[in-house]
C-alpha cells in the first residue's frame, strides 16, 4: 500500500484536533455505531480541560488505497521542541490558520522549521464560518509570512483550501459546495510525495516520541528511514556521537490504524511505527540493525529555560489531603516523568528533601504539577527561576529572551506597553490588526513574563491575547521590579471566621473564605501596601449580654480571589511557596515562624 506522512501544524486553538476527528470520521476509520468522544486525539484529561494538545499523537487513515499517517502536533510554544522532531518524520505539512486570528507566533515558528526542512506545506484557512472571519486578508498574511521566512518559489506556490473543521468540510473555493473533506484528502495524495526511502538497506530509524507503558515498558515511535523492521530482530541504539547505548530485540512492533496501535509482524521504510524491547534508548537515538555503524541525523533537544524547586509538603496540614507525601515517592515520580518527557530535567536540590525540575516554560511544568496532584501527591513548589548560561566566547552571562505578540483593543494598548517596558520588554512592531485591535510585538527576557499573564488579563479586561515564543539567549537585561504589594500572613492556627475576615477586607485582597483551615505563616491575601502584615483571621466576636441596635447586621464578605495553579506559581516571591495537594492550593511563606522569617530577611540583606 502507498504511504503519505503528514503533520498538522497550527497555533493553539486554531482547530487541528477537531479537524483530525473529522478526517477519521469521513475516511470510515470509525464504525458508524462507534461511540467517539469529541476531540478524540486529545486523550488526556488535562488536554480536554485546557483545550490544548500537550503530546504529539499519530493516527492513520486509508483513502483511495493509500495509507495517510497524520501526526497531530502540539501548538503551544512550551512543547515546541516536540514539533521540530515530528517534522523529521513527515514529507508534507498542513498549515492550519484561523480565518479570524490569522497567522500567530506558533504558526510562524513551526512554519519556519517546516520550510527549513524543505517541506512544501499546504494551507488550510479554517473556521471560515466564524462571524468575524476575513479569509482573503488571512491568505495575504500567510503569503507574506512564507516570504518573510525565506520560502523558495516552489514553497511560495502553496495550494490552499477554505474549511470548517467543526462542520467537516473543505473546498478549494470560498463559495464551494461545503459538503465534506474529500478536497483535503485528494490534495494530500496529489501534493505530498510518498517517502521514497530505500527498503533494501539495513533497518534504521530515529526515535522521535517516547512513552512508558506498564506492560510493554519503554515505547519508541519514529519513521523507518531505511530497510524493514521485524518482530524479534536484534537491534541496537546509537547516540548522536555514534556510541552504543544498548543492544536488544524488537519484542513488539506496533503500527497505527486509526486511533489504535495494532501489533504487526513487519514494517518497511516510510511507515511510522512504535517499537518496544529497549530499556535505555531515548530521544533522539538511532535504532538500527547491529551492522549499522553511523547514527542517522537528528534534531537535538532544546535546553530547558526555566526551573522550579519541588519539595515535600512540610506545612502543618501536610499529609492530610494526599496519599503520596514522602520525598522518595516524589523523587520516583519525577524521574519516571523524565523517561517519557525528554524536555524535563530533574536534579537533586541542595535543600533537603527537594528536587530541581527544569523545563521549557511555566505551562509545561504546570501540567506536570497538575498531573501529580491528581495522582494524590502533596508538594510545595518554589518560585520559577530562569536558567542563565555563560556565553562560551565572551564569558558574559546570558538569559533566554522571548518574542511576544499581543493582540489587544486599542484603549488598552497604552497600559500594555507601559507594563512590558517595566519588565524590560522592547517593542519591535505595532500595527492595526482588524477593527479597533492593535497587534504589538515585543522582545522581552523570559523572567519578565513570569507572573505577568494574570495582570495582563486584568489590564485588558480579559480581551487581550498574548502569544510567546522562545527567541534566543541574549545578554542579561538587568534587574526587574517584582510584585509591589506585600502579603497578609496568618499569625494564628485555626479556621477563619466571617467576623475576622470582615475586619481584614480593608487591608487588602483576601485569598481565603470563611471556615477555611489556616496556619501560622500561611498567606491569606495581598496587602494593600508594600510591606507584609501579620493578621489574626480566626478571631471570634466577643459575646456579651449587652446588645446595641444596628451593630449585629449580617457580615457581608467580598468573594475571595481564588488562584489557579499557574497563577499561584506566578504570583509568589522568592521567600514564598505554593502548597499543592489533591484538594487545595495554598500560598505560604517559606519560613512559617515569624522569627525565622526575620532572621532569613536579615541574612538576605547582609
The backbone torsions φ and ψ at residue 296, rounded to the nearest 5 degrees and listed phi first, read -75, 155
DSSP letter at 29?
-
Distance CA(567)–CA(596), nearest Å, equals: 27
E strands, 366-491, are 379-381, 385-386, 389-390, 397-409, 426-432, 437-445, 465-475, 487-490
How many angstroms separate the CA atoms of 235 and 238, rounded?
A: 10
Q: In the structure grid, which three cell numbers stand for residue 511, read together? A: 485569598
Grid cell listed for 520: 501560622
Q: What span, in angstroms and rounded, lies between the C-alpha atoms of 437 and 407?
A: 7
C-alpha span between 107 and 341 (Å, rounded)? 23
Residue 323 annotated as binding site: no
Q: How far apart are CA 292 and CA 516, in angstroms?
A: 64
CA 232 to chain CA centroid, Å, is 37
In terms of Cβ atoms closer than 10 Å to its own Cβ (0-12, 13-18, 19+), residue 487 is buried
What's the burial of 278, exposed, middle or buried (CB within 10 Å: 0-12/13-18/19+)?
buried
Cβ atoms of residues 218 and 273 within 8 Å: no
Cα angle at 433 between 427 and 437, to 5 degrees? 85
The verdict on whether residue 13 carries a ligand-binding annotation is yes
Residue 173, SS3 per DSSP: coil
C-alpha 153 chain-centroid distance: 34
Which three cell numbers, joined as nine digits, stand for 352? 533537603
76 is in an annotated binding site: no
CB atoms within 10 A of CB 547: 8
- The reply to whether 315 sits in an annotated binding site is no
Look up residue 478 and give its three cell numbers: 538587568
Residue 377 carries which DSSP code? B
Strand 228-230 relative to strand 244-249, pairing: unpaired
State yes or no: 98 annotated in a binding site.
no
d(CA 180, CA 171): 8
State the cell numbers at 252.
Answer: 513488539
Q: Say how many C-beta atoms besides its own lie within 10 A of residue 583's C-beta.
A: 9
10 Å CB burial of residue 306 (0-12, 13-18, 19+) is buried
345 is an annotated ligand-binding site residue: no
The helix/strand/coil state of 347 is strand
Q: Residues 6 or more apart from 31 whose CB is under 8 A from it? A: none
Rounded-to-integer distance, Cα 189 and Cα 477, Å: 50
HSE-CB for 405 with a 13 A CA cutoff: 20
Annotated binding site for GTP: 13-18, 126-129
**Annotated binding-site residue numbers:** 13-18, 126-129
Amino acid at each position: 500500500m502507498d504511504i503519505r506522512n503528514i503533520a498538522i501544524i497550527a497555533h493553539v486553538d486554531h482547530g487541528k484536533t477537531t479537524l483530525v476527528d473529522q478526517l477519521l470520521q469521513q475516511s470510515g476509520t470509525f464504525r458508524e455505531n462507534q461511540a467517539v468522544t469529541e476531540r478524540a486525539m486529545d486523550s488526556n484529561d488535562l488536554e480536554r480541560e485546557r483545550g490544548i494538545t500537550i503530546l504529539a499523537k499519530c493516527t492513520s487513515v486509508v483513502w483511495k488505497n493509500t495509507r495517510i499517517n497524520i501526526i497531530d502536533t502540539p501548538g503551544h510554544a512550551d512543547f515546541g521542541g516536540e514539533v521540530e522532531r515530528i517534522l523529521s518524520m513527515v514529507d508534507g505539512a498542513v498549515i492550519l490558520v484561523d480565518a479570524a486570528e490569522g497567522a500567530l507566533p506558533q504558526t510562524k515558528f513551526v512554519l519556519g522549521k517546516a520550510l527549513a526542512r524543505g517541506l512544501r506545506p499546504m494551507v488550510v484557512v479554517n473556521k471560515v464560518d466564524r462571524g468575524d472571519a476575513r479569509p482573503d486578508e488571512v491568505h495575504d498574511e500567510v503569503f507574506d509570512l512564507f516570504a518573510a521566512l525565506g520560502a523558495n518559489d516552489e514553497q511560495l506556490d502553496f495550494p490552499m483550501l477554505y474549511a470548517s473543521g467543526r462542520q467537516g468540510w473543505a473546498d478549494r473555493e470560498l463559495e464551494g459546495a461545503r459538503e465534506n473533506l474529500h478536497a483535503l484528502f485528494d490534495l494530500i495524495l496529489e501534493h505530498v510525495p510518498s517517502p521514497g526511502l530505500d527498503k533494501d538497506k539495513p533497518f534504521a530509524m530515529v526515535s522521535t516520541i517516547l512513552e512508558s507503558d506498564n506492560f510493554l515498558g519503554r515505547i519508541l515511535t519514529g519513521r523507518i528511514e531505511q530497510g524493514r523492521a521485524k518482530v524479534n530482530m536484534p537491534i541496537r541504539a546509537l547516540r548522536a556521537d555514534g556510541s552504543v547505548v544498548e543492544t536488544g530485540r524488537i519484542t513488539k512492533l506496533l503500527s497505527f490504524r486509526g486511533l489504535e496501535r495494532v501489533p504487526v509482524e513487519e514494517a518497511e521504510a516510510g511507515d511510522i511505527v512504535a517499537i518496544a524491547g529497549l530499556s535505555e534508548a531515548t530521544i533522539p537515538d538511532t535504532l538500527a540493525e547491529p551492522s549499522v555503524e553511523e547514527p542517522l541525523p537528528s534534531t537535538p533537544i532544546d535546553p530547558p529555560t526555566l526551573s522550579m524547586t519541588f519539595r515535600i509538603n512540610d506545612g502543618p496540614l501536610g499529609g492530610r489531603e494526599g496519599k503520596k507525601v514522602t520525598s522518595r515517592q516524589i523523587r520516583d515520580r519525577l524521574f519516571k516523568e523524565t523517561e517519557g518527557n525528554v524536555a524535563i530535567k530533574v536534579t537533586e536540590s541542595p535543600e533537603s528533601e527537594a528536587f530541581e525540575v527544569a523545563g521549557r516554560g511555566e505551562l509545561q511544568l504546570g501540567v506536570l504539577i497538575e498531573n501529580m496532584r491528581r495522582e494524590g501527591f502533596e508538594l510545595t513548589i518554589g518560585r520559577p527561576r530562569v536558567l542563565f548560561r555563560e556565553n562560551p566566547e565572551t564569558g558574559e552571562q546570558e538569559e533566554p529572551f522571548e518574542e511576544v505578540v499581543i493582540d489587544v483593543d486599542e484603549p488598552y494598548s497604552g497600559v500594555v506597553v507601559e507594563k512590558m517596558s517595566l519588565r524590560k520588554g522592547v517593542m519591535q512592531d505595532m500595527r492595526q490588526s482588524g477593527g479597533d485591535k492593535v497587534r504589538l510585538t515585543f522582545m522581552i527576557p523570559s523572567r519578565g513574563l513570569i507572573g505577568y499573564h494574570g495582570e495582563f488579563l486584568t489590564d485588558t479586561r480579559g480581551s487581550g491575547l498574548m502569544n510567546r515564543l522562545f527567541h534566543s539567549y541574549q545578554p542579561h537585561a538587568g534587574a526587574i521590579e517584582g510584585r509591589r504589594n506585600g502579603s497578609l500572613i496568618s499569625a494564628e492556627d485555626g479556621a477563619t471566621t466571617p467576623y475576622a475576615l470582615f475586619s481584614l477586607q480593608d487591608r487588602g485582597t483576601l485569598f481565603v473564605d470563611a471556615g477555611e483551615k489556616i496556619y501560622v505563616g500561611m498567606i491569606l491575601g495581598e496587602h494593600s501596601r508594600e510591606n507584609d502584615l501579620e493578621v489574626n483571621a480566626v478571631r471570634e466576636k466577643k459575646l456579651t449580654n449587652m446588645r446595641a441596635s444596628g451593630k449585629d447586621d449580617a457580615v457581608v464578605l467580598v468573594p475571595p480571589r481564588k488562584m489557579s495553579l499557574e497563577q499561584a506559581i506566578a504570583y509568589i516571591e522568592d521567600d514564598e511557596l505554593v502548597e499543592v495537594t489533591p484538594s487545595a492550593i495554598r500560598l505560604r511563606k517559606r519560613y512559617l515562624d515569624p522569627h525565622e522569617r526575620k532572621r532569613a530577611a536579615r541574612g538576605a540583606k547582609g
